Amino acid sequence: MIIGRFAPSPTGILHLGNLRTALASWLSARSKGGRWIIRMEDVDGPRCRREFGEQQLKDLAAMGMESDSPVIWQSDRGDAYREAIHTLHGLNRLYPCHCTRKDLQKLSSAPHEEDGLRPYPNLCRHRPWEGLEAALRFRLTDGAMDWADLALGPQYDDPSTLTGDPLLFRRDGMFAYHLAVVVDDGFQGVTEIVRGMDLRGVTATQIQLQEALSVPRPAYAHLGLVTAPDGCRLGKRAGALGLEALRQRGIGTDEIIGWLGRSLGCIDHIEPCTINELTQHFQWSKVPIGKVALPESWS
């Protein structure tokens, strides 16, 4: 059974790029008769707000996307993450890290790709275990990982050159994204992860973490980002590109679905439609790789 998921962080409204990812994950699961779930990734402390999450759920529902299982909020899942930390410690895969953000900024290295990823240079690997008082990093093993990406085809990355040993637990007691995402995809039996290209560079790292935690490896698909009409990053303009803001400017939800459907290769012309009408036309081989520019009139 296919189980797809959409896992937004409730730090603001969902813009067209997020909605495109959500729709692709929904179509991919539904076109194969699978289940589809939503998970709220609110481990990122103060930037996450319950109201943003509730609004995101409303917007997804307005497009016709509702979670088949009750929505999990990661802020409720501390016990599961703590257990995973104990498992990884038992496997000798964790070490305390004392580097501050400032220390890391001082180590100048070229930003990697356009997502600005800089690998952590594993400076604290030699440190002995100090318990849960310190920040904790996951010790990667050497070598590249490969995976078959549904959108991009065969992929191959060395996680040590992309992320370095990732942070899993922060000094302030919060669990970090890489841990939460891997634990929850395993817990929820997710078999398909569809997400933005900005996260392609962390996939090999997360696959290593799955292997350490004996979590089955899901299929991945990384989608090109939605850009402004001139091809530049949406940046602050993204805020004006939520469902509600577009609706206020007279652009209906069915029209937005039509544009998204065309951008995912389901239909040839932009025409108002429902997500159910797109389902039978969805195929990963037809989804264009690369960025998608917004129509001039929407931006």
Q: What are the C-alpha distances in Å from 243 to residues 22, 57, 273? A: 13, 12, 15
CA-CA-CA-CA dihedral for 35, 150, 191, 73, to nearest 10: -80
Q: Which two tokens stand for residue 7?
A: 């896992």
Task: Tell whether residue 20 is a contact of ligand GLU (CB under 6 A).
Answer: no
- Shortest CB 200 distance to ligand GLU, Å: 11
With contacts defined by CB under 6 A, name the span among 2-10, 64-72, 89-97, 277-285 that binds ligand GLU.
Answer: 2-10
Segment interacting with ligand GLU, rule: CB under 6 A, options 5-13, 87-95, 137-145, 149-157: 5-13
The answer to whether the CB of 101 falls within 8 A of the CB of 135 is no
Query: Rg for the chain (alpha carbons), in Å?
Result: 20
Closer residue to ligand GLU (CB): 41 or 157: 41
φ, ψ (nearest 5 deg) of residue 239: -60, -30
Positions of E strands within 158-218: 167-169, 192-196
**Binding map of ligand GLU across residues 190-229, x = CB under 6 A, - = no contact:** ---x-x---x------------------------------
Q: What share of the chain is helix, strand, coil (3-state, %, to 5)?
A: 40, 20, 40
DSSP H/E element including 222: strand 219-223
Block residue for tokens 């520019």: 293
Task: Count the site residues for ligand GLU by CB under 6 A.
Answer: 8
Q: How many helices (H) and strands (E) does the chain have?
A: 10, 12
> Looking only at residues 91 through 130 of this chain, which bind ligand GLU when binding is defined by CB under 6 A?
none
Q: Which of 3, 4, 8, 184 binds ligand GLU (CB under 6 A)?
A: 8
Residue 14 CB, nearest approach to ligand GLU (Å): 9
Q: Least separation, in Å, of the C-beta of 8 and ligand GLU?
A: 5
In the bound state with ligand GLU, the residue whose beta carbon lies nearer, of 197 and 260, is 197
> 165 to 184, contacts with ligand GLU by CB under 6 A?
181
- Name the minimum Å distance from CB 296 to ligand GLU: 27
Q: Does 41 bind ligand GLU (CB under 6 A)?
A: yes
The site for ligand GLU (CB under 6 A) is made up of 7-9, 41, 181, 193, 195, 199
